[in-house]
Amino acid sequence: MSALLNVNKMTHYFGGLRAVYNYNLNIKPHQITGLIGPNGAGKTTIFNLITGVYTPTEGSITLENKSIKGLETNEIAARGLGRTFQNLALWRHMNVLDHIKMAHYSQLSYGLIGSFFNTSKCREQESRVEENSYRLLELFDIKQHADQIVTNLPYGAQRRVEMARAMATNPKILFLDEPTAGMTPDELGQMIKIIRKVHQDFKVAIFLIEHRMKFVMELCQHIQTLVFGELIAEGPPEEIQNNPEVIEAYLGKEDLT
């Protein structure tokens, strides 16, 4: 009940390849959910299916009890699903501030004519967006990079830009695809702090894919384990950690730290 996001019996095929099978998900407001599983299990595909990059072959997806299946990605994003990408997907010629401003796109109403003639409505909305963007930059500790082209930033900062950008869409649920991929243990600790802070300050629900168990166990209230596109276990962290199937299918082979 009172689920924010509900995915029911979702299945997806890529041609003949069954990438996701009979997948269910229930995200409650302000909950942090984790999705773990070996490489190629279909985790990113699940993100893409929910956010509308692909339309699932079968199953239903509802956000606040309204179906979002089949909508365009930008509409789904505007309804409150913000995301980051496993391999950074930043705009390589754009500076940091513009990244954050851009993500306010759906919140603008001045229209093309407004932008052509720089109407007062346009100026007003743009300055409001700019203000909000600076606030976000500060929060994610990248304000000092505001004018820099994003590709000139250190890796950790780029990850934070991506998160700040996702938050600028004003999401109800934040999807994080391996937010710590390629990070040093130091940066990892910092990332945990940032995610906690986002969770506290914005009161969002978070759905994250992660490889590192420590990270997932520390952050998530609920964890799903995916193998070959199918869920093999889900529950609170302690339960998952001790689930023999999970240990065999996933934890046994992978690095536990």
Ligand X SMILES: Nc1ncnc2c1ncn2[C@@H]1O[C@H](COP(=O)(O)OP(=O)(O)O)[C@@H](O)[C@H]1O
CB nearer to other proteins: give 64 or 214: 64
> Under the criterion CB under 6 A, does residue 35 sit at the interface with ligand X?
no
Is the CA virtual torsion 230, 235, 236, 239 positive or negative? negative
Query: How near is the Cβ of 170 to other proteins at its closest, in Å?
Result: 9
Q: Copy the structure tokens of residue 14.
A: 């890529």
Question: Of all helices (H) and strands (E), which one includes residue 239?
Answer: helix 237-242
206 in Cβ contact with 115 (< 8 Å): no
The item of Mg ion, ligand X, other proteins, none sharing an interface with residue 19, based on CB under 5 to 8 Å by kind, is ligand X
> Under the criterion CB under 8 A, does residue 22 sit at the interface with other proteins?
no
Contact region for ligand X (CB under 6 A) — 37-45, 109-117, 126-134, 156-164? 37-45
> Under the criterion CB under 8 A, does residue 116 sit at the interface with other proteins?
yes
How far from the centroid of its chain's Cα atoms is residue 33's Cα? 11
Burial-class residue 107 by CB neighbours within 10 Å (0-12, 13-18, 19+).
middle
CB nearer to Mg ion: give 7 or 35: 35
CB nearer to ligand X: give 11 or 132: 11
> Under the criterion CB under 8 A, does residue 181 sit at the interface with other proteins?
no
> Under the criterion CB under 5 A, does residue 158 sit at the interface with Mg ion?
no
Determine the 3-state secondary structure of 8 from DSSP: strand
| From candidates 86, 107, 148, 170, binder to Mg ion by CB under 5 A | 86
CB nearer to Mg ion: give 125 or 210: 210
Q: What angle do CA 127, 118, 94 make, to 5 degrees?
A: 60
| From candidates 36, 41, 100, 213, binder to ligand X by CB under 6 A | 41
Longest Cα separation, the chain: 64
Whole-angstrom distance, CA of residue 179 vs CA of residue 188: 9
Question: Of all helices (H) and strands (E), which one includes residue 120?
Answer: helix 120-139
254 in Cβ contact with 71 (< 8 Å): no
Residues ≥6 apart with Cβ < 8 Å to 103: 82, 165, 166, 168, 169
> Under the criterion CB under 8 A, does residue 117 sit at the interface with other proteins?
yes
| From candidates 49, 50, 166, 231, binder to other proteins by CB under 8 A | 166
Whole-angstrom distance, CA of residue 156 vs CA of residue 158: 5
Segment 59 to 88, residues that bind other proteins, using CB under 8 A: 72-74, 77-78, 82-83, 85-86
- Which residues sit at the interface with Mg ion, rule CB under 5 A? 44, 86
- Which residues sit at the interface with other proteins, rule CB under 8 A? 44, 47-48, 51-53, 72-74, 77-78, 82-83, 85-86, 89-94, 98, 101-106, 108, 110-112, 114-118, 122, 126, 129, 165-166, 168-169, 177
